[in-house]
Chains A and B, each alone.
Chain A
Amino acid sequence: MESVARLSSLLETARDLTLEAARDAAVPRKFATRALPPQQIKKLLDSRNERDILDGLRRVVAMRYASPPQPTLPFFPAVLKTLSTPYPSTRPLVYNYLVHHAEQDPDTALLAINTIQKSLSDPNPAIRAMALKTMSAIRVPVISQIVSLAIKKGVSDLSPLVRKAAALACVKCVRLDPNTRPLVEEALATLLADKQYFVVGAAVQAFAEICPTRLDLIHPVYRRLCKMVVDMDEWGQLAVLHLMTTYARNCFPQRTQKVKRAQTREQQSRDFYEDLEDKQEEYDDAPYLDPDLDLFLISIQPLLQSRNSAVIVSVARAYLYLAPPTHIHHIIGPLIALLRSPQDIQQIALYNIVQVCLQKPELFTPHLRHFLIHATEASSIWRLKLEVLTLLFPHSSKDNQDLILAELDHFSRGQDMELVRESVRAIGRCAQSSSAQTSRRCLSLLLKQVHSPDETLVGEAIEVVRHLIQRAPDEHRKTVVRLAKNLDTLTSSTARASIIWLVGEFAGFEPEDNIAADVLRILVKKYADETNEVKAQIVLLAAKVYLHHLNNTSEARKALQGTDEPTTEDPDESPVTLLYQHTMLLARYTPSYDLRDRARLFRALLANPSSTELASLLLLAPKPVPQAPSPSEARKIFTLGSASLVVGEGLREDEGIPDWSESEEESESGEEEESEYETDSEEDEKAGLVK
């Protein structure tokens, strides 16, 4: 999270940087500009002078990376020959060259194996480590046996540097030749029990790479891993966190324990926490947090102050998926701290925050201010921030809700159309998930958008308004009237269509005082100028209005028949009927096939004024209330911290967190093994103290 590079750019002023840049550009290093012919490079490599050899090697390495790359393979024998010189300083470059070219010329590469093997027993551990590292990296399958033997030797080396190299060599060895797996796994088991934490860290990384399912190798070292995790380097910590999350799910079944038993064992009473999932259990039973799991959760807590954002998110994942809900508050602050990181990390961090927020929104409410959007932010960032704001909205206090709404209002008046659209949608989501009072405020905010010159925005706003109205139709009759007034000025066809649809939906209310027929009358005048989308809605409106009219008159007729009075009204002369027929006539001569088709359908449905049941069923059916879920709702199934969560697609290798293990037997066997090694781990503890 804290990058030295970023900070130094803050500290150094721009002037200094340009000066330095100018100087650097002016004096490039000599050999970079002046290329030597291959013969001369060979001569340098063949020299006995360390400086010349180094110079030659550098030139070869530079040639390989130069653009366009120059062929460096012809130097292979000459480069390998320099291994015979006594200068250790040339080794890293030779090894680098060797690893890169071994695959292209395996036969020549094999010439070097002998020298490297000799280095494996060099008195200097750094040279031993480097030799082991290089040998395992040579991708020539013939040597897999030699490599596995070297690993075996390296595992018992006195220097931790070599043991770490051995751990990492395990991965390369298995990749080179899968047949060496049994031997390598054996070596890994030894390395996992190492006393030096950075060796163990590397071993866990290798374990995750080679055999992540062999959890039986972890049983004996579980507690030591938990204790060592704080001291490991960040990458080791990441591997341990990843491993333990899987391990705990597999080996600590969620159990409940009789409360009675807790009373007898006072020291364990603190391990009792609130009910996690087993709500159906009798309340005699309390969920039981395995002490080993508790140990893990406690030992990773200091990692929340790591400077590495990946570690923080991994701890968050462990807490979210393993710990009882009472622990989760620990992870909130550190997750928010990730918002300080550079933009690339910030974006990924926000995906993770949204994921946690979907499950525990109330915990984020005190940190609301961190999610306010800056005008200079990239769209990927503000999109996620907007989502967090809307997720927090129903859980916030009145003041904070005001703040969020003011914020959304501000951005919905901005110039970035994308941002405006998202803000409008966000207002809609806020309105959905809140009380009637705030919902009304959201609605009035949205209605302001109606006058915006941006058509898509108006369409978007009206769409959201329509959703809101559908949720509580009774409260919004007047809103519909207001919207209908806007039909005169609105140009966005989506918005017009939405409003007309709404008017049609409300055509049945208060038959005596309804605007639907009036709206239809005005719309029909300009029918020819409308877009197809709007025309379709006008035709539908006409059908609905006519249907309501038919229903009403038939009811009225029934009532009249009850009183035995003759009906004098001729239905054909009612203005609604005339309007309907006029609309149908217009629809009949519309160029769009679809529209003509629809009109034909409505005509057929409403052909017989006395039987309207089928038409009522089709046209006046209650519409389901639309839901606009939070955009990340679909990502909820993905694991926190995984790439799938960011990509939004289930990736091949992301298996996610396994379910809690069900079987008691498995876990018990695990525990037995654990207890077998208990004495072991206690000894190690002392060893750790000595260290």
Chain B
Amino acid sequence: MSAIDALYIFDEHNALLFDHTYTNRPPSPSVLLPLYLQQPSPRPSLIYLPSFTPPILCYSIIQDNILFLSPCSSSAEPLLVLEFLHRVADALQEFLGSPLMATKITSSYDIIAQIAAEIADAGIVCQSEANALRDVVETGSGVLKNLLDSIGASASSPALSISGGAGSSSIPAALRSQLQPAQSSQGSAVPWRRSNVRHTSNELYVDFVESLFVTLAPSGRALSAFAHGSIMFNCKVSGVPDLVLNLMTDGKGAGMGTKGEQLQRVMERVVFHPCVRLNRWKSDGSLSFVPPDGKFALCGYEVDLLGPDAPLTVSNPRAKSTSGLDLPVSIDVSTGLGTNGADFEVRITQPVRSLATASLQSNLGPQGRSKPGQSGRPQQPVEDITIHVPIPPNVRNVSDLRPSKGEAHWNPATSMVEWHVLEKDVGPSGVALRCTVQGKPAEEDEEFTAGGVMNGVTATTYDYDDDVQTGDTSRLGNQASSAEINGSSADSQRQRLERNRELMPTSATLSFSLKGSLPSGLRVESLAVDNKRSRGLGADIKPYKGVKYLTVSRKGIEMRC
């Protein structure tokens, strides 16, 4: 029914790193890989290979340049297999650290073999929680042997280090947590949390990440603006804590129902980690959960920054900016510049930002990572400002790149102009990048021109009335005839402009990251450990809490032109 036949992992040079066969007799990696590679890039995530008996469905994902392939002879649900591959990648990251690298994989085959066998049993996906895997996969002394030897701790027996748990405080918590015994007796009562979690310093980190996806029309009007948000949680708390995370909105939808309803209006299409109690979310908008140990994605949501439901443009003073959005950097592209129309210019400016944005910074406790948001506090810098301009394929060369600040270069392989700017260079007046493009050599162009003129003569021989609303063909005819009259120089100029218009980029994308504020205006109101429901955590222990807000755009802001 839905069995996965095998799992193959390849590195960025398509050399086989790992193969694990679950069931049946799947085609070997060396057979499958060429069939995958012969697909045009970007390769589809599902490839149907009917040449095998039985026919094979080949699924693939790429994570950190590592290719995961999985052949299936049965017609499983495609998303099931893809999710499985993503979970494998997640699990490998959990055990080997992020990012995945070929060297890490080749040096820990014992762990990967166990992970692969645990996640799917005989091809049936059965255990994908990283924490549950921690309980069963034997990492033993090997992984940390060298490290522990160097700090003089005995790691020969995993069972030993847990018995001396509280005493051996010389070992950092992160390391000790990896030394939990593989075979804890009963397994955990909470399927997503491993058993017997102990940390010397209890810490809770919440990271809000919102990725911007904005499409701007040539006029600067936003066609669509979404922020895809995720709440990343890093929980290092002993025992079985029960947490309550309360969020608040930035006044959006105020006066419209309870806080929970406001939240649900801002955070649309929410998905949750299975630990979140859905009833609490529905009733009062608070997130109540027993977290897994370590890093996990608590929740994903999206915010429509334009939508009718979020009265952003009405109630917010920031709406005065042209697009109705409060982008920390704005971008403008103009094309067809210069005498020949062969230049284009990208200009970015940084609008003077109101204090409302600066006050988005939130805090959680005095030792929180972000400090209280007093107005007038210097705002966080916009980092990693990068502009990408895709260049049409018929451009021969981008001959002249003139950035007023920063570094710009043209990559013919990806046909992209990439421009990096530092934030301090971008002021309200802005910085600009001007490029000149070169198309095909001029000979073809001459022929084209000659043909145009000749046809232009005959175009006037029809004397039927033209449709009123079009005017397009007649205008062309007029232009052609007038050009003929004015002589060939004006005509070739027009042709050159026309031809250069084909070489102009049609869009430019803006990437940046901004710490400390979110476009949705979400903030953490409180993060509390429910002491009544938690177990294994002393009542007097106050975990260290930290909240971080991050707005990123990875080619997400697209300016059309």
Contact = CB atoms under 8 A, between A and B. Distances in A.
Interface of A: 1-13, 17, 20-21, 24-25, 28-30, 32, 50-51, 54-55, 57-58, 61-62, 64-67, 88-89, 91-93, 96, 99, 124-127, 130, 133, 136-137, 159, 161, 164, 168, 171-172, 175, 198, 202, 205-206, 208-209, 212, 233-235, 238-239, 242, 302, 305-310, 312-314, 333-334, 336-337, 340, 342-345, 347-349, 369-370, 372, 374-376, 378-380, 403, 406-407, 410, 413-416, 444, 447-448, 450-451, 453, 478-479, 481-482, 484-486, 488-489, 515, 522, 641-644, 646-647, 649, 651-654
B387 interface: no
A686 B141 CA distance: 45
A456 to B, nearest CB: 14
Contacts of A450: 473
A651 B82 CA distance: 18
A310 B80 contact: yes
21 contacts: A3-B86, A4-B296, A25-B103, A61-B110, A65-B19, A66-B109, A93-B110, A137-B122, A172-B121, A205-B2, A208-B2, A233-B191, A307-B271, A310-B80, A336-B269, A337-B270, A349-B79, A376-B509, A485-B462, A643-B46, A652-B54
- Pick from B54, B97, B126 the residue with the most CB of A within 10 Å: B126
B459 interface: yes
A405 to B, nearest CB: 13
B488 interface: no
Given A65-B109, A205-B124, A206-B124, A348 B224 contact: no
B455 A308 contact: no
Contacts of A485: 459, 462, 464, 466, 473, 477
B545 interface: no
A484 B473 CA distance: 11
A5 B98 contact: yes
B83 A234 contact: yes
B262 interface: no
Contacts of A242: 1-2, 77
B245 interface: no
Interface string B300-333: 1010101000000000000000000000000000
Contacts of A644: 75
Interface stretch (B60-68, B283-291, B529-537): B60-68
Interface in B1-21: 1-3, 15-19
A9 B64 contact: yes
A88 B82 contact: no
A375 B218 CA distance: 14
Given A208-B2, A233-B274, A484-B462, 4 more contacts: A5-B100, A11-B209, A30-B146, A403-B223
A643 B57 CA distance: 8
Nearest to B391: A415
A312 B126 CA distance: 18
Given A2-B230, A643-B57, A10 B552 contact: yes
Interface of B: 1-3, 15-19, 23, 42, 44-46, 48, 50, 54-55, 57, 60-61, 63-64, 74-80, 82-83, 86, 89-90, 93-94, 97-101, 103-104, 106-110, 112-114, 117, 121-122, 124-130, 135-138, 140-142, 146, 156-158, 182-187, 191, 207, 209, 211, 213, 215, 217, 223-224, 226, 228, 230, 232, 268-274, 278, 295-297, 299-300, 302, 304, 306, 383-384, 388, 390, 392-394, 448, 452, 455-456, 458-459, 461-462, 464, 466-467, 469-470, 472-473, 476-477, 502, 506-507, 509, 513, 550, 552, 554-555, 558, 560
B77 A347 contact: no
A64 B355 CA distance: 61
B555 to A, nearest CB: 5
B223 A369 contact: yes
- Pick from A5, A54, A447 the residue with the most CB of B within 10 Å: A5
Contacts of B103: 24-25, 28
B93 A4 contact: yes
A390 to B, nearest CB: 17
Given A96-B114, A376-B509, A380-B44, A7 B209 contact: yes
Given A172-B122, A202-B126, A447-B470, A62 B109 contact: yes
B414 to A, nearest CB: 11
Nearest to A206: B124
Contacts of A309: 79, 82-83
B18 A65 contact: yes
B218 to A, nearest CB: 8
- Pick from A7, A96, A406, A414 the residue with the most CB of B within 10 Å: A7
Contacts of B388: 376
Nearest to A451: B476
Nearest to A333: B269
Contacts of B156: 50-51
Nearest to A410: B560
A92 B141 contact: no
Contacts of B50: 649
Given A4-B295, A340-B228, A369-B224, A479 B467 contact: yes
A317 B461 CA distance: 61
Contacts of A370: 224, 226
A359 B42 CA distance: 30
B428 to A, nearest CB: 27
Contacts of B108: 29
Given A374-B558, A447-B470, A652-B75, A337 B185 contact: no
Contact of A10 (B80, B392, B550): B550
Contact of B186 (A21, A159, A305): A159
A448 B476 CA distance: 11
A328 B269 CA distance: 16
Contact of B187 (A161, A235, A643): A161
B291 to A, nearest CB: 13
A88 B103 CA distance: 28
Contact of A647 (B48, B86, B278): B48
B75 A234 contact: no
Nearest to B41: A378
A172 B23 CA distance: 9
B470 A310 contact: no
A99 B114 contact: no
Contacts of A647: 46, 48, 57
Contacts of B226: 369-370
B269 A10 contact: no
A448 B556 CA distance: 30
Nearest to B138: A92
Nearest to B145: A51
